[in-house]
Structure 1
Amino acid sequence: MNQQSWTDPKEAIINPDVLASMIQQFNEHPDYSENMGGNGSPVISGEHQEVARDDTPNKRRRNLIDGDISNTQSPKNRRIRGSFGSKDQGVRGPMVIRNQTYVHRNEPNINKNNNQHHKQHSASLNNTKNNNDINEDFYHYKVNDQSLTYSVDTHLPPIIFECRPKIKEKDAAKKLVMLFFKEIEKDFRQKHPNHRRAIGFDHWWQNSDGARILGEIKDVDLFIYLCDAKRYPKQLNNINILPDPPKRLPPRNTVVVKFVKNDIDIDEFRIDIKERYKSIFTVENMMGTMRSNSRHIRMDFSDIKDYESILNSGVISIQGQLYDVDEYLPAPKILICSKCNEPGHIKKQCQLSIEKCRRCGGDRNDGSDHKICLIKCQHCGNKEHCSNDYRCPSLLDFRRQIVAELRRRPDCLPPQAQFFIPVDCRPKGNYTRKLNNPATVRQQRNFTPQLNINSMNEWPELPVRHFNTEQIVNSTVKEIEELKQKYIENQQKIEQRFHEQLKSIQHGWTAIQNQVLT
Structure 2
Amino acid sequence: MVINYVKYDVKEYLPQATILIYTKCFGVGHFRKQCKQTDDTCKVCSERYPDIIKHNCSGIAKCLHCGGDHHANDMKCKVVKQYRADLTKILLSYSNKSFNNDMFNNMFTSTSEFPPLLRPTKSTINDYKMLAGEQNGIMTKLDQILNSINNINDTIGDLVKRTEQIEDWINAKQKFDLKINNGIRSLQHGISRHDGVLFNQTNFIEKLILPAMDDIMAMLSVMNVKEGR
TM (norm. structure 1) is 0.17
Q: Which of the pair is proportionally richer in strand? A: 1
Bigger CA radius of gyration:
2
TM (norm. structure 2) is 0.36
